[in-house]
Structure 1
Amino acid sequence: MATIKDIANQTNVSPATVSRVLNNDQTISVLEETRQRILQAAKELGYKTILERQTEKHIESAKKTPKVGILLCQTLEEEMSDPYFLSIRQGVEEELLKQGITSTSMFRIHETGSNPLIHDFEGLIVIGRINEGALKKVSDHVQNVVYINHSPDDTLYDSVVIDFVESTELAMNHLLNLGYKRIGYIGGVEKEHINSGKVKIEDERLTTFEKVVKREGIYNPSWTFIGEYQMSQGYEMMKTALELEEKPEAFFIASDPMAIGALKALQEANLSVPSDVAIVSFDDIEIAQFTSTPLTTIRVHTKEMGQTGVKLLMDRFNGRKIPLKVIVPSELVVRQSCGAVR
C-alpha cells in the first residue's frame, strides 16, 4: 500500500504538505499545480486516506451483515400510550446495534401496503400480534421471522413470549393471600391483525382472572370492566366501578398505564389506596414506582424480550433450523398499592 512518503518522493514536496493536501486542509497555502500533482500521484499509486479506508470498510461490512426489518403491530399513538411495546422495540434496536447490524428498517403494519421494501429483508422481527396470513401478505418470502409477544405457530417460527396465565395467577394469589375477597378486574381488548384489519382475541389475563375467582367462589361479573389499553380508559372504568352499590375492595388491573388512570379516579373520589381499594397491576413500567401510591405490579422484562428476539434471529442466520420458543419469566414487585407494605 502506498504511503504519504511515497507520494512525497514522487512529487518532490514534503510529507507534511502531502498529508495536508490529501486531508483537504483549507488552511494550507500551496500552488494549485502542486496540489493537482499530489492528487494525481496519490491516484496513480492507489493511496487512500484514513477516511476513505474507513468508508470502504463500513460499506464492505454493511454488505456482509444481513438486512433486518422490524414490523410493529402498533400505531405510534398506541406505542406512546403504552410503554410496554416501546420498551420491547428499544431492546430490539439496542441488540441489533450490539450485534453490528446497522442495515435495518422499521415499519408499522398500517404502512406496509405502500412500502415495497418490506420484501427485501433476510430477517424480520415482528413486535405484537399479527395473523400468519396477514404476515405472508406483508412479506411472503422472508425465511427468518421472529415474533415477540406472540407465537402464531411454534412449529414454524421463533418466538419470545411471557406466560400471561402464570403471571396473572401470581398477581391474584397475592391478593387472595392478603385476604381480599371482593376483587375486580380492569383491562383492555387484545387484538390481532388480519388481512382485513383487526379482530378481538382471547386475553389470557382476563380468562385467568375469571378462572381464579370462580375457583375461589368469589366471581361477580359486574366487577369486570373491559375497554382499551389506555390510561384514560383505566380512569373512566374505575369511575364506573365506584358507582356500584357493592364495590370491589381490590382490583387486578391489566396494565400499569390503566392503573395510573385508576389511581387518579380514586384520588378524585377521596379514596385511599390501599386502605379503601387495593391494586395490583401489570408491566412494571418505570413510572409505576413513582405514582402517588407506588404500584404493586407484575414485572415483565420487556427490553430483554426484544434483545432475546434479536439473538434468536442471529442464531437462525448462523444455521439453526429448528424453531425455538423462549418464555421470559415475570415476577411480582410488591409496593404500597396492594396493602402488603404500609
Structure 2
Amino acid sequence: MVTIKEIASAVGVSSATVSRVLNYDPTLSISTRKRQAIIETAEALNYATPRNRNRAAAQAVGSGLKIALVHFLDPAQELADPYYVGVRLGIESRCQALNSDVVKVFLTGNTPEATILEGASGVVAVGHYYGDELEWLRRHSRHLVFADYAPAGDMEDTVLSDVSQAMIRLLEAVHAMGYRRIGFIGWIDAFYGPDNIHSERRCHTYIDWMTKTGLFDPELCLVDPMTPDSGYRLAKAMLSKPNPPKILITCNDNMALGAYRAINEMGLRIPDDVAVASFNDIPVAQFLGPPLSTVKIPAELIGETAVDLLVERLSGREVAKKVVFGTEIIWRASTPAPTGAANPAEHMVPASSASEVPG
C-alpha cells in the first residue's frame, strides 16, 4: 500500500503538504505545479485515502449480506410519519450502495418468525423497543444496531440525535426572544407507563429546564399516548385554558400539524396569538401556513449510519459504539420574536458534528 511519505519523497515536499493537498485543504498555500505533481503522483501510484480505503472495505464486507430491517411501526403508521420514512430510506439506500439485501420485519401485533432474524447477517432495529420485544431482538439477532433509539445498557450499537440538548437550545432561544408562557405537548413513553408519564426525553428536558428557570406551570405541559389526533386534542385543550401559552412546542411535526388545525378552528392566528415550534423538519413543515419553525433531525443519515455500524461489527469490531448526531433549529414564520425582542435568525443554532461515544 502506497504511503503519503512515499508520495512526498517522489515529489520533493513534506508529508504534511501531501496530506493537505489530498484532503483538499483550502488554506494551503502551494503552487499549481506542485499541487498537480502531488495529485498525479498519487494517482500513478494508486494511492487511496483512508476514507476511500474504508469505503472499499465496507463495500467488500457488505456485498451479499442479508440485513433484517425491523420496524416498530406498521407500514400505514410509518407512512403517516415522514421522519421514520426517512430513517428507513437511509437504511435501504446504504444497503443498496453496499449491494446488501434488505428484509423488512414489522414488530406490530404477532411476533414474526425468529428464523427471519437468525438467517440474517445482522439486524437494524428502527424505533423504540421494550420488555419482551427488546429481549426477542437480542435473543435472535447475530448483530444488532438500534436506529433512533438507545436502550439501557451498553450491549448494542446505537445511533440517534440528542433531542434533549436540542430542546434546551430551543427553549433558550425562545426565552431570549421574550417568551415566558411556553407550552409543551407530547406523548407518553410506553416503557415507563402511567407512573411516569413525563419520561420522554423532550418532555423531561422541558420540565427540568422550565423548573430551573422558575417558569414551569403544570397546566402548560400535556401528554397522552400517541394517536393520530394527539396534537389536535392536546393543543385545543391547552389553548382553551384561562391563561394559555404564547408559544407552543410540540414533540414532533405531526403533532404540530394537529396543533395548526386546532389553532385555526379556534379562530386564533399563528404567530400573533400563539407561536409554534416543533421537531423533525418533515418536508411539509416548510409549506404550512405559516411555515413551521422546527428542529431538523438527520433522519436518513441516522439510517445510513446504522448500516455502517453493522458493517463495522461484521468486520470484527467488538466494543459497542454510540453515535449521536447534532441538530439544527430551522426558524420559520411560525415563531417570530415578539415586538422589541431579538430576531429569531440571530438565534440560529448550526448543526454540530456527530460524536461517537463507546457504549
On whether the aligned pair clears a TM of 0.5, the verdict is: yes
The one of 206, 209, 226 equivalent to 2:223 is 226
- RMSD across aligned positions (CA): 2.5
Distance 1:112 1:201, change over 3 A: farther
Query: Which AA in structure 2 matches 1:137?
Result: W
Alpha-carbon contact 2:155-2:320 (below 8 Å) kept: yes
Alpha-carbon contact 1:119-1:140 (below 8 Å) kept: no
C-alpha distance after superposition, 1:278-319 (max 9, x if no partner):
111111001000001111111000010000001111111112
Q: Name the CA distance, whole Å, in 2 between partners of 1:119 and 1:137.
A: 11
| Distance apart, 1:274 and its partner CA | 1.0
Query: Which AA in structure 2 matches 1:121?
Result: A
Distance 1:75 1:290, change over 3 A: same
Alpha-carbon contact 1:281-1:297 (below 8 Å) kept: yes
Counting only pairs closer than 5 Å after superposition, residues 112-151 of structure 1 correspond to structure 2 as 113-115=111-113, 116-131=115-130, 134-138=133-137, 140-151=139-150
| Distance apart, 1:173 and its partner CA | 1.1
Which deviates more, 74-83 or 219-228? Answer: 74-83
Q: Name the CA distance, whole Å, in 2 between partners of 1:193 and 1:133.
A: 14
Distance 1:164 1:238, change over 3 A: same
Equivalent in the alignment of 1:317: 314
Identity, % of aligned positions: 25
Q: TM-score, normalised by structure 2?
A: 0.71
Alpha-carbon contact 1:132-1:152 (below 8 Å) kept: no
Counting only pairs closer than 5 Å after superposition, residues 51-90 of structure 1 correspond to structure 2 as 65-90=64-89
Equivalent in the alignment of 2:269: 272
Q: Name the CA distance, whole Å, in 1 between partners of 2:231 and 2:170.
A: 18
Alpha-carbon contact 2:63-2:99 (below 8 Å) kept: no
Counterpart of 2:108 in 1: which secondary structure? Answer: helix
C-alpha distance after superposition, 1:102-135 (max 9, x if no partner):
2x21111136624232321120000011137533
Alpha-carbon contact 1:288-1:295 (below 8 Å) kept: yes
| Distance apart, 1:81 and its partner CA | 2.4
For structure 2, the 5+ residue unaligned runs are 1-59, 338-342, 345-359
C-alpha distance after superposition, 1:175-226 (max 9, x if no partner):
10110111111111223499xxxx9782010011111111111111011111
The one of 284, 288, 297 equivalent to 1:287 is 284
Counterpart of 1:245 in 2: which secondary structure? Answer: coil
- Rg (Cα) greater in structure: 1
Equivalent in the alignment of 1:308: 305
Which deviates more, 133-142 or 184-193? Answer: 133-142
Q: Name the CA distance, whole Å, in 2 between partners of 1:205 and 1:120.
A: 37
Counterpart of 1:151 in 2: which secondary structure? Answer: coil
Q: TM-score, normalised by structure 1?
A: 0.75
The one of 259, 267, 270 equivalent to 2:256 is 259
Counterpart of 2:214 in 1: which secondary structure? Answer: coil
| Aligned length in residues | 277
Alpha-carbon contact 2:138-2:144 (below 8 Å) kept: no
Counterpart of 1:274 in 2: which secondary structure? Answer: coil
Q: Name the CA distance, whole Å, in 2 between partners of 1:293 and 1:230.
A: 24
Query: Which AA in structure 2 matches 1:110?
Result: T
Counterpart of 1:105 in 2: which secondary structure? Answer: strand
